[in-house]
Amino acid sequence: MSERIPLTPQMPRNKTGYTAIPESINATPESALWMFTKYVLSIVFGVAILFWVLTEGVAYMVPYLPPESEQWLKPIGEEYIKQETKKNHISTDADYDALLADLKTHLPTPALVDIKVYKGLGDTINAYALPGGKIVLYDGLMRQLDDLDARRFVLAHEMGHVYHRHAIQAMGKSVIYATLLMPAAIAFPQLSGSITSLLNVSSMQHSQAKELEADRYAVMLLKASNYDAHAGVKVFQLLEKGTKNVKTPEFLRTHPPDAARIAQIEALTRGK
């Protein structure tokens, strides 16, 4: 009669005769604290990945949105202009209209909305682009720029925001921030302040990238118009004087450091 073959392999036994447990098996149960820590870390990591994918996805998808999407935002900018006009904070200006008309003839591709420029009254040193192609250039900034090409750079920069559709990007990301923040704040109310701060920092970093992109557009547009794109350096030298005593860390600023913007213009206009 042949020897009987066991159906399962025999486990090795130690000297006492008991089955030896392989060293690779960890029989010690995980502590509740470590399990909870892994759970929290997985949630945080997952939300961070989702946040990055969604926000970057918005920026990626904007160029593919139909032109009509810009028209959806026009009422927002129009209402702002209407209210500021009533308060006598802004007005139309023939000189600004002439600057805009000149630069528009050199646009590589037409804007998706009709761009309109306004003069912001008062001493505010600022300029911005609103949804729907409305641009406001504050007199406090423009009258300190005696170089006409420096003024053109400011306008071209705001036209860059319109061209790259930064307004719709910002609004889309704001919706995502709010959508992600709400459930996180409900799940971890004690961390809601920290979560808000982190989202704000991320938003500021995106804002800095948009500002640099608009600067590059301004350099390109002025060079295409045969104007002095290097005059943009004068704009940021002026702004730098007003922010040299600001102690806010760079990563908490909505705009890049003026020195970085000057360096970019210098690099783009070198050998012009």
Residue 120: alpha-carbon gap to chain centroid: 25
- Provide the pairing of β-strand 116-120 with 90-91: antiparallel
What is this structure's pTM?
0.71
Residue-level pLDDT at 189: 63
Residue-level pLDDT at 250: 44
- 103 or 249, greater pLDDT: 103
Q: Cα–Cα distance between 42 and 36 in angstroms, integer? A: 10
Residue-level pLDDT at 205: 46
Assign 28 a pLDDT band (cuts: 50, 70, 90): low
Query: Comparing 11-15, 66-70, 255-259, 263-267, which segment has the lowest mean pLDDT?
Result: 11-15
Please report the DSSP string for 32-54 in residue order.
Answer: HHHHHHHHHHHHHHHHHHHHHHH
For residue 230, give the amino acid letter: H
* Token reading at 265: 């213009």
Q: Cα–Cα distance between 106 and 99 in angstroms, integer? A: 12
Query: Comparing 34-48, 108-122, 231-245, which segment has the lowest mean pLDDT?
Result: 34-48
